Amino acid sequence: MSDHAETTTLAAEAAVAATPDKGESLLARHVAAFFESPLAVAGLVTLLAMVLLALLAPFIAPQNPYDLSQLDIMDGTLAPGAKSLAGYTFWLGTDEQGRDMLSGILYGLRISLGVGAVSTVIACALGASIGVVAAYAGGRVDTLVMRVVDLQLSFPAILVALVLLAVFGRGVDKVVIALVIVQWAYYARTVRGSALVERRREYIEAARCLALPKNRVVFRHLLPNCLPPLIVVATVQVAHSIALESTLSFLGVGVPVTEPSLGMLIAKGYDYLLSGKYWISTFPGVALVLAIVAINLVGDRLRDVLNPRLSR
């Protein structure tokens, strides 16, 4: 009997130890699960470092690449580590206009990351609102919205953005508007799919029985429970926005020449690749790839953490 009692006691202790701490919040468990992945942590650290460098660019950049008065054509296409006539060392070289590539990359990150973040936030808010309203309303409203979404997604994003910028013209604000128009449909479809499941839950029925206003049911009860997949899509779409903005700038229809982004810096060095002046395109390209890979690593881990069924 003593052996049986000891075995029972050990089993009970193991069950208690395996039981999750109810005092631990869901957010704390998600954060702990996120930091279990070394790749996700490396991506997050890289992303935060690049954001910090972009924000502090006016204070740490050796040169303001947007100020044409600071550029000297005599310093054009200098190799990495070369010194200017004034004795300044260009650690990453210069482009054909004498622009310091290190400064250009830091300022280019500000535009690329800023455009990606702002366009994602606006498109996410717009698309999520449309998707959750369509799912809750159902019927003709849902059908009409989803046909518009299907029509939007049937065209390549780069093609739609090119047409919009051909109409709007060049500029950072124009690029943001084009990216919002291109991306809102992704969020609308994602939220609509989640909302169709959530609206059958008991808490939605309870809210209806309490005769709560429809806007409160939709935006205070239904939409918050659709956030997990929305967060994952939004994170991945930031990387897509940055890549799309860089592509548009590379093609010469994005940001103006006076405010070069990473895509425009890559385009400026494209003609010099065969002449051995690799640094003009290579270093901005490396910065762009690092930013996109870091965001995708964070997004992939968020998908696994917020959807435990994927890890089974």
CA atoms within 13 A on the CB side of 45: 7
The whole-angstrom separation of Cα 62 and Cα 101 is 10
Question: Domain extents for the chain?
Answer: 42-311
- Read off the tokens for 131: 């998707």
Provide the sign of the torsion angle of the four alpha carbons 258, 262, 267, 272, taken in this order. positive
Is residue 251 within 8 Å of residue 122, measured between CB atoms? no
pLDDT of residue 129: 93
Q: What is the pLDDT of residues 128-148, one digit of tens each?
A: 999 999 999 988 999 999 999
Q: How far is CA 61 from CA 38, 53, 103, 195, 245, in A?
A: 30, 9, 5, 46, 23
Binning pLDDT at 50, 70 and 90, where does residue 27 land? confident
The whole-angstrom separation of Cα 79 and Cα 277 is 7
pLDDT of residue 87: 76
The whole-angstrom separation of Cα 109 and Cα 267 is 15
Whether this model's pTM surpasses 0.75: yes
From the CB of residue 173, how many other CB atoms can be counted at a distance below 10 Å?
A: 12
From the CB of residue 297, how many other CB atoms can be counted at a distance below 10 Å?
A: 20
Q: Does domain 42-311 have CATH number 2.60.40.10?
A: no
Is residue 151 within 8 Å of residue 261, measured between CB atoms? no
Percent above pLDDT 90 for the chain: 51
Binning pLDDT at 50, 70 and 90, where does residue 105 land? very high
Residue among 241, 258, 38, 287 at smallest CA distance from 170: 258
Q: What is the pLDDT of residues 107-119, one digit of tens each?
A: 999 999 999 999 9
The whole-angstrom separation of Cα 192 and Cα 231 is 14
- 8-22, 55-69, 150-164, 217-231: least confident range: 8-22
Binning pLDDT at 50, 70 and 90, where does residue 96 land? confident
Of 174 and 13, more confident? 174
Task: With a cut of 80, say whether residue 61 has pLDDT above it.
Answer: yes
Q: Please name the helix (run of DSSP H) or strand (run of DSSP E) that holds residue 83, with its range, or none.
A: strand 82-83
